Chains A and B, each alone.
Chain A
Amino acid sequence: MKKLGLLLVVLLVVALGFSEVVVRLGGWVSSPSEEQALEEVVKAFNEEYAGKIKLVYEPIPGDYKVKLTAMLSAGTAPDIFYLDTSWAEEFFRKGVIQPLDLLIRKHALDLEDFYPSLIEAFKYDGRIYGLPKDFSTLALFYNKRMFDEAGLEYPNENWTWVDLVYAATKLTRDLDGDGQIDVWGLSLYRDGAFNRVIPFIVQAGGKVVNEDLTTALGDPDSVEGIRFYIDLHRKYGVAVTPQDVGAGWLGDAFGKEKAAMVMSGPWMLGFLRDNFPNVDYGVAELPRYKKRATMVYTVCYAIPKTSEHKDEAFIALKYLVTEGMKTFTERLGVLPARISLAKDLINDPVKGAFMKGVSYAIPWRIPTPSGIFSKAENEINTRISKVWMGEMTLEEAIDEIVKNYDSWVR
């Protein structure tokens, strides 16, 4: 009798094991600590849904977009995967991503708790195609010691372009008197810089595209924004690229104290903590001009239309953006996309600047007729680099951009 009971239990367990639906989760491989946190979330989910859903984390190393495209084309894509705002629209348009609206209603996920700009970032044609994993905005990092030495007040939320140039000029200094500048007020990107120029364009009252998706970069306000970015280097002489001072990227230039200010995202926090713990810095919102603006970079979880288990995938997705996001933000210090989790952060002396930015931030996603902006981005970036180096004038660059834009986004 006892044996029979045991056998039944075993059979039940086996049956449950087989009835478990496997949901695969794919994403790019970022830092080991993020991978660890994700694995922890997956483990917690699997404990809660034991016997019903089994979430399996399958990181996708290498060129993520290329690999994901190949997997989607072969029909082997995971049931949940990451999409980046900057290129997600192409995937929405081609009809490979499952619209989530019905699933959100069916599984009663409260959208009110998400920042609207982050939901908006993954909408296409009125439907929601992805839910935000976390986000980053740009803010102004400043070196407190250098500001003290120059007798300057720290940047605050009322700073304008004028304050930026004034402070940067004072901070650009030749320390040893050899006629060469040792510390620069600012470090800015020259190559691939367009997404960093966009906040300046919007601050100047301009925009990237018009309602009809034609380019608005030729508008006087937009040109003013681009001009200011490049003038920080060419006219005011207060900004150089990280490469100019022997640094790999902005965080490196800031950490090595070659630049007193940089505009960067929260990914710099961990980098500075680990590599330059002695640099005393503060973070403020980006300076304003006619308007306030910053960029928001965000990544979503999405489900492919070919998934065999969309309901189960959505249950896992829901867990990832609720319980999972909580673990993520606590463990990794990334910025939560949900208001309830972000409440305390808004007053955080460091993260507050990033959190405040989200209310007026522009998603890094430029709508185009084809859904693909990368060609235009490459072409615009090349011209910004050329103007920065003095290989062409801004007028010539704008002229070429306006003339050819249509052929880049077709």
Chain B
Amino acid sequence: MLKKRNVREAIAGYLFASPIIIAILVFTIVPIFQAGYYSFTDYDALLQQKYRIRFNAQEALENYFFVSPDEAPSDEELLSLFDPVDFIELSVGVDLDDRQKELVRKEFNSRKLIADFLEFKLDRIYIFSDFMKSYMKNGASTFSRYVPQFVGLSNFLEAFKDRMFWISLKNAVVFSLVVTPIQTLLAIVLAVAANQRIRGVKFFKVSFFLPSITSAAAISMIFLLIYSKPGVLNRLLGYLGIGPVDWLGNIRTALPSIMAMNIWTTAGYFMVTFLAGLQDIPTSIIEASMIDGANAWVRFWRITIPMLRNQIIFVVTMGIIGTLQVFDQIYFLIRNQENITISMYIYQNAFSYGKMGYASAIAMILFLIIFSVTFVQRRLMPEERF
């Protein structure tokens, strides 16, 4: 009896959770495996519908022979003029590879097609794969679905020889190494500040958190103005006698500028994590240390930081993952190939350069890098359980 109830409860539970399970399955799990598969192929999204193109067979044949059936010569004569490979490639417009050409030459039922043509049976819209099903004696399945060419490891090997791959990877790593420690430290400082019992602390909490809920596009536009040559930053620096710098245009300053902006937007978000951690620190420990004569500085380093260990591990992990994948701010603000990060390079390959397979391979490499960094990090700094 009890067992049955358990099963029913489990079913109900999964039903309740099913929207998110399905969403994750469809939009995360399946795409990950798909990308893994594509990384070993020359997949091209534009070819996906290659065998689904529609055409009027009658018109295509009239165009091929330059005659209509009523004025056509005998079927034998037409047959002698007919080359199925030429017909498919030129009049229908589907490119065939060598293997397919051979197959078509061997198995295409030209006689049947010509007979149907002369009897006006073809004057309708065909989908290419269905057309092949009707007129191939064997092997029509080759034309039922686009299958990308398997290319083995060549996408991965290409990445290692690609200068832009290394530049963009280096940029992402530098970005991560600079941003992660600073944003973590800043988030702790902000959290400690927001945890004080002073007037208007809510205002500070809100303003620290605000950047992380503002859209990346809006923030990018604001920073575009701040960093521009006659912008606020240069005006302030002008008072110090520092000449105007084209922060985002200059190859040397572009990436550091984005880093600063990224730290500003993410620190507030992680502050919330630390704020929760701070509120978990028992006041008794702090009071005891105060009785022992520890000042604020000592309390911060000796009590606050060690007590926040789990939060720090979490924030550093999320920080590394986030910074290695940084994309939107680069997409909006960087105009120079020397300064792009690896996610941007994946995007360019996938959507501008028509190299989806290569882009998938780089995405897989990035996945492996992030996976191993996180793995090593978890080993070196295991979370403490109280």
Which A positions have Cβ atoms within 8 angstroms of B? Answer: 63, 65-66, 69-70, 72-75, 87, 90-91, 94-96, 98-99, 102, 190-192, 241, 243-246, 305-308, 310, 370-372, 374-375, 378-379, 381-382, 385-386, 389, 391
A74 touches B229 (CB 8 A): no
CB A5 to nearest CB in B, in angstroms, measures 35
B338 touches A72 (CB 8 A): no
- Of chain A, the residue at the smallest CB distance from B338 is A382
Residues of B within 8 A of A98 (CB): 93
Task: Give complex CA distance A310, B54 in Å.
Answer: 9
- Of chain B, the residue at the smallest CB distance from A370 is B354
Task: Give complex CA distance A306, B54 in Å.
Answer: 5
Choose among B50, B54, B94, B354 the residue that contacts A372 (Cβ–Cβ < 8 A): B354
CB B272 to nearest CB in A, in angstroms, measures 31
A69 touches B54 (CB 8 A): no
A382 touches B336 (CB 8 A): yes
| Contact status of A96 and B49, CB under 8 A, knowing A243-B228, A305-B54 | yes
- Contacts A63-B351, A96-B49, A306-B54 aside, 20 further interface pairs with beta carbons under 8 A come to A73-B49, A87-B352, A91-B46, A102-B59, A102-B63, A241-B249, A243-B246, A243-B249, A244-B246, A246-B229, A246-B230, A305-B53, A306-B49, A306-B53, A307-B54, A372-B352, A374-B348, A382-B337, A385-B336, A389-B249
Choose among B52, B93, B228 the residue that contacts A246 (Cβ–Cβ < 8 A): B228
Task: Give complex CA distance A15, B251 in Å.
Answer: 65
- Of chain A, the residue at the smallest CB distance from B127 is A306
- Would you call B335 an interface residue if the criterion is a C-beta within 8 Å of the partner chain's C-beta atoms? yes
| Contact status of A243 and B45, CB under 8 A, knowing A90-B354, A99-B93, A306-B54 | no
A375 touches B352 (CB 8 A): yes
A191 touches B335 (CB 8 A): yes
Task: Give complex CA distance A378, B354 in Å.
Answer: 14
- Would you call B107 an interface residue if the criterion is a C-beta within 8 Å of the partner chain's C-beta atoms? no
Interface SS of A by simple majority: helix
Q: How many pairs, one residue from A and one from B, have CB atoms within 8 Å of each other in the complex?
A: 101
Residues of B within 8 A of A244 (CB): 229, 246
Residues of A within 8 A of B45 (CB): 69-70, 72-73
Task: Give complex CA distance A91, B44 in Å.
Answer: 11
A75 touches B52 (CB 8 A): yes
Residues of A within 8 A of B353 (CB): 372, 374-375
- Would you call B12 an interface residue if the criterion is a C-beta within 8 Å of the partner chain's C-beta atoms? no
- Would you call B83 an interface residue if the criterion is a C-beta within 8 Å of the partner chain's C-beta atoms? no
Interface members, chain B 71-124 (any A CB < 8 Å):
93-95
Task: Give complex CA distance A96, B354 in Å.
Answer: 14
CB A46 to nearest CB in B, in angstroms, measures 23
Task: Give complex CA distance A63, B352 in Å.
Answer: 11
- Would you call B25 an interface residue if the criterion is a C-beta within 8 Å of the partner chain's C-beta atoms? no
CB A259 to nearest CB in B, in angstroms, measures 14
CB A389 to nearest CB in B, in angstroms, measures 7
CB B227 to nearest CB in A, in angstroms, measures 10
Task: Give complex CA distance A325, B125 in Å.
Answer: 30
Task: Give complex CA distance A375, B335 in Å.
Answer: 13
Task: Give complex CA distance A61, B134 in Å.
Answer: 40
Task: Give complex CA distance A20, B197 in Å.
Answer: 71
Task: Give complex CA distance A63, B96 in Å.
Answer: 31
CB B60 to nearest CB in A, in angstroms, measures 9
Task: Give complex CA distance A35, B320 in Å.
Answer: 44
Choose among B46, B54, B231, B337 the residue that contacts A94 (Cβ–Cβ < 8 A): B46
Residues of B within 8 A of A90 (CB): 46, 354
Choose among A70, A308, A378 the residue that contacts B348 (Cβ–Cβ < 8 A): A378
CB B191 to nearest CB in A, in angstroms, measures 37
- Would you call B372 an interface residue if the criterion is a C-beta within 8 Å of the partner chain's C-beta atoms? no
Residues of B within 8 A of A95 (CB): 47, 50, 53, 93-95
Task: Give complex CA distance A307, B55 in Å.
Answer: 9
Residues of A within 8 A of B55 (CB): 305
CB B128 to nearest CB in A, in angstroms, measures 9
Task: Give complex CA distance A61, B120 in Å.
Answer: 44
* Chain B 240-258 interface mask (CB, 8 Å, partner A; 1/0): 0000001001110000000
Task: Give complex CA distance A94, B125 in Å.
Answer: 21
Task: Give complex CA distance A370, B353 in Å.
Answer: 10
CB B11 to nearest CB in A, in angstroms, measures 33
- Would you call B377 an interface residue if the criterion is a C-beta within 8 Å of the partner chain's C-beta atoms? no
CB B324 to nearest CB in A, in angstroms, measures 22
Interface members, chain B 189-223 (any A CB < 8 Å):
none
CB B36 to nearest CB in A, in angstroms, measures 18
| Contact status of A94 and B49, CB under 8 A, knowing A308-B125, A370-B354, A382-B337 | no
What are 7 A-B pairs at a CB distance below 8 A? Answer: A72-B49, A75-B48, A244-B229, A305-B53, A306-B52, A375-B352, A389-B250
CB B97 to nearest CB in A, in angstroms, measures 13
A66 touches B351 (CB 8 A): yes
- Which 7 interchain pairs have the tightest Cβ spacing? A246-B230, A305-B53, A73-B48, A191-B335, A73-B45, A94-B46, A382-B337
| Contact status of A308 and B54, CB under 8 A, knowing A243-B228, A370-B354, A375-B352 | yes
* Chain B 33-58 interface mask (CB, 8 Å, partner A; 1/0): 00000000000111111101111000
* Chain B 328-363 interface mask (CB, 8 Å, partner A; 1/0): 000000011110000000001001111000000000
CB B131 to nearest CB in A, in angstroms, measures 13
Task: Give complex CA distance A75, B250 in Å.
Answer: 43
Task: Give complex CA distance A379, B49 in Å.
Answer: 31
| Contact status of A191 and B249, CB under 8 A, knowing A72-B45, A370-B354 | yes
Residues of A within 8 A of B335 (CB): 191-192, 381, 385
Residues of B within 8 A of A191 (CB): 249, 335-336
B46 touches A96 (CB 8 A): yes
Query: Of residues A99, A192, A305, A382, which shows the largest number of chain B Cβ atoms within 10 Å of its Cβ?
Result: A305
